[in-house]
Every structure is written in C-alpha cells, then in structure tokens.
Structure 1
Amino acid sequence: VEQFGYTSVMQAPKVQKITVNMGVGEAKQDSKMLDAAAGQLAQIAGQAPNVRLARKSIANFKLREGMPVGLAVTLRGDRAYEFLDRLMSVAIPRIRDFRGLPANFDGRGNYTIGVREQIIFPEIDYDAVDQIRGLDIAITTSAATDEEGHALLSLFGMPFIDKPNPEQIAAEEAAKAAEDAAKREAAELAKAELSESESAGDGEEAEEGEDAAAEPSADATEETSDEPEDEAANDAAEETDQ
C-alpha cells in the first residue's frame, strides 16, 4: 500500500484467476492420450479440465475443425491461491538447473510461466507417465502495471531473477572498463619490449656486418702495399743480370 501510494487496502492488487493450459496435439490420432492428459491435469490443478477444440481446419497439420487439441482449467478464489502456493513452494524448486524466473509481464500486470515437464508436480507419478507434456500457467491479476504485478507475486514468494540496481550496473561497468584498460596497457608494454629487443638485435647484426666488411679491406691494403716491393725486387734482379 505504501509502496504505490494506495489510499485504501482495497486498491492493492490481487490474483483474479490462474489458467493452466496443456497442449495435446496427439489426441487427434489417439483419444487415449487425451484421457491420460486430462487425468494428469486434474491431479495438478485439483479441478477437472475443459477440452479445447480446433477452431478451423489446417490441412498441413492434418487438423480438422472440432478436433481436440488441448486442455485448460481455470482456478479462482481459494483454489487459485492454493495452486499458486504449491507451484512456488513445491513444483518450481524441482525444475532442473533452475536459476529463477524472468520478470516478463504482459504490460498489464499479468504473468505467464512456461513449464516444460508436468512431472515437476508431486501429484504426478513418474512411472505412470505415458508422455512428457508441457504446461502454460497464466496468472491474471488486478494490477494496473507490471511493477504492481511484480510486487504482488514477489510478496507471494515468486522466485524472480533479481535485477541489478543502477549503482551495481555502474560499478560492474567501471570494473570492466578498468580491466580492459589494464589489458590494453599490458599489450602495449609487451609490444614496446618486443620492438626494443628487435632493434637491439638489428644493431648487433649491423656491427657484425661492419666488422666483416672491414677485414677484407685490410687484407686488400696489405696486398696493395706488397706490390711495389715485388716490383723493386724484380728491377734489381734485372740489373744484376745485365
């Protein structure tokens, strides 16, 4: 009441009804499937379901108008609240790898849950199940907005996934930005060190090349200096012979 500024407790939203739907497409070929599914849904909801019939014929699905395609049961009053309590306290915790429900409302405070397996309800005997079937559970509330509907179901104990507050989001973004900056700095430092090592290696190779080039020059100088001596010796030998 205080959260949304209601002036009377009668303004507080409440659960109006809960509708449980089960698709039984295989019933068009085997009527026993429909009976088995109806029995399971009756055990889950505590109330006999109604058969939903096809509204039109669809040749691609081999479906004719009037064929049974699903089951539905609508719970109101105490039965709705009892089912909601069993759903949240017993059935949902038995979902494998459950990590919370997304808060996806329809814009008018109503919420729908998709259940993949009917065996999460303890009323269903696993050994007696002929086929795994899914359920759609629609919770209709008198809430005017999604925020009010979320608050209502949260107070009942619906395990929604917690949304991080703006401060938490900002802190996570800042931490990520700092981590990215540190990675970039480390990458630039490693790149600079690699460049320095390559430059040092190139300098050493250049010095070795200069030394190697200098050695042949010295030998050539020695050979050049020896040539006049050889010529003088030859001239002296010729004069002696004369």
Structure 2
Amino acid sequence: MAEDKKDAKKGAKPDAKGAKGAHPAAPNPKAEKAAAKAAKSAAPKAAAAGEVEASKGPSRLRVQYDQTVKQKLTEQFGYKNKFEVPKITKIVINMGVGEGVADRKKVEQAAADLAMISGQRPVITKARKSIATFKVREGQAIGCKVTLRKDRMYEFVDRLINIALPRVRDFRGLNPKSFDGGGNYTLGVKEHIIFPEIDYDKVAEVWGMDITVCTTARSDAEGRALLAAFNFPFRQ
C-alpha cells in the first residue's frame, strides 16, 4: 500500500503541471519581450561557438533568385543556357583591427562581433610579413574574416540591403563603380553597429569592414544587373 501511495504521488505531479497548462495565464508583454531578447542574444552566442543551425527551407532571396532574377537577367542579356545566368557564389567579410597590433583582445572582440553579424565563426587574419613602420610582425593577428555561402550568404545579403544600409547616416546609395572588372563587388562599411545583431549599448569598439560579393558574372555590367535585381541600392 505504501508503494502504491508513492506511485500515486509520483503520477500526480505531471497531472498538476498539465492542469496549470490547461488554464494559461494572461499574456505578459514584459515577459514576451524578455524572451524575444533572450532568443536574440542566444543566436549570436551559438554563432560564436559555430553552432548556428541551418535555416529551415531556402532563404527568401534564394527563392527570389530562382523565381524572378534568373528570368529577368536572361531577358536582359539573352542567355541561351541556364548555366550562363550569373549568380552570387560567396560573400567575404573582412574586418581589420589596427589596435590588434598592441592588444590581442581587440582582435578577439572584433571576431566575436563578426560572428554575431554573420552567424558563422570567423578566422583570425595574420600579417604575411613584418612592417616596421606600423610595428607589425609577421604572423601577428591584425583582424578577422568570414566567408559565407549558400543560404547563410543570402540571409546576410537580405539583412545588409534591407536593414543595415538604410541605417547608415546620410546614406545616398552604393557606388556603382566599385566592381573589379570581373563582376565582383566590394563595399566598405565604416561602422559595424548598423547591423541589427549588434547591441550598441554593449559595444566596446566600433569597427569598419569590407564586404566583397563574389559572382559568376563575366563582366561588371552583368554583375551590376545581378545585384540590382536583388535591390542593391546603387546610386543613379
């Protein structure tokens, strides 16, 4: 009998929890806001640890490319084969840290911020040779970079053109002449705090970065048409 009572008590606990779930409390806006904030902060931590999960299904811009961009470019340039249509292959984000020469922690801070922005663990870049003028030694940490591909690449582009760039003070559009002659485009960002993943109140330093969009375009004209089809805000 004693054992039966113990079993009954053990079985009663889940029922009690279920009873609570049957009558949910009224929504608490503060709690929901806190939960959303916690979820937002958890993602960057996972990114820094290289544990970001792959997105479920194709990204929005990947779908846009398949459904509209391909057709638009084919009509514009008269491609005969679907493999001729240019596409974005990767995004390379490079963050140089001048202060890293004197303080290794600066590089680590920059790498942590870049991980939050990109959702992927960056690699530390090191000096290829010594430069006495800048007190740089060969092999010394001078910055960090990350290379994005596939859906993670498209998701970054989505945030860049729709959230980050509109936050730039006095933004007047991207320079349409910053192509390299082979359809690849590079833009500079002076302040990494324009990205939504960065909490301005917790930033110790403001870093600049170079973002290179690598494509399969055979010319700058095709590369620009490709990026324009994704709504990159080029100056007219």
Shift of 1:129: 1.0
Q: Distance in 2 between matches of 1:8 and 1:55?
A: 42
Q: Distance in 2 between matches of 1:49 and 1:128?
A: 20
2:108 corresponds to 1:108: no
Structure 2's unaligned 5+ residue stretches are 1-73
CA-based RMSD: 0.8
Shift of 1:28: 2.2
TM-score (norm 1): 0.66
2:200 corresponds to 1:123: no
Aligned partner of 1:32 in structure 2 is 105
> What pairs up with 1:44-83 in 2 under 5 angstroms?
44-83=117-156
8 Å Cα contact 1:27-1:69 kept in structure 2: yes
Task: Select 2:207's aligned residue among 133, 155, 175.
Answer: 133
Structure with greater Cα Rg: 1
Which structure is higher in RCO with an 8 Å CA cutoff and minimum separation 6? Answer: 2
The superposition leaves residues 77-111 of structure 1 with CA deviations (integer Å, 9 ceiling, x where unpaired) of 11111111110011000000011111121111110
2:159 corresponds to 1:86: yes
AA paired with 1:161? R
The superposition leaves residues 13-33 of structure 1 with CA deviations (integer Å, 9 ceiling, x where unpaired) of 000110000001212211221
Q: Percent identity?
A: 57
Task: Select 2:230's aligned residue among 127, 131, 156.
Answer: 156
The superposition leaves residues 126-179 of structure 1 with CA deviations (integer Å, 9 ceiling, x where unpaired) of 1111111101000000000111001100010100012xxxxxxxxxxxxxxxxx
Q: Distance in 1 between matches of 2:97 and 2:171?
A: 25
Q: Distance in 1 between matches of 2:204 and 2:148?
A: 26
Q: Distance in 2 between matches of 1:53 and 1:152?
A: 33
Moved >2 Å (runs of 4+): none
TM-score (norm 2): 0.67
The superposition leaves residues 43-75 of structure 1 with CA deviations (integer Å, 9 ceiling, x where unpaired) of 011101001111111111111111001101000
Q: Distance in 2 between matches of 1:53 and 1:7?
A: 44
SS of structure 1 residue aligned to 2:76: coil
8 Å Cα contact 1:25-1:68 kept in structure 2: no
Aligned partner of 1:239 in structure 2 is none
Aligned partner of 1:182 in structure 2 is none
Bigger proportion of residues as helix:
1
Q: Count how many residue pairs are aligned between Structure 1 and Structure 2.
A: 162
SS of structure 1 residue aligned to 2:165: helix
Task: Select 2:172's aligned residue among 94, 99, 102.
Answer: 99
> What pairs up with 1:162-241 in 2 under 5 angstroms?
162=236
Q: Distance in 2 between matches of 1:150 and 1:60?
A: 38
> What pairs up with 1:11-30 in 2 under 5 angstroms?
11-30=84-103
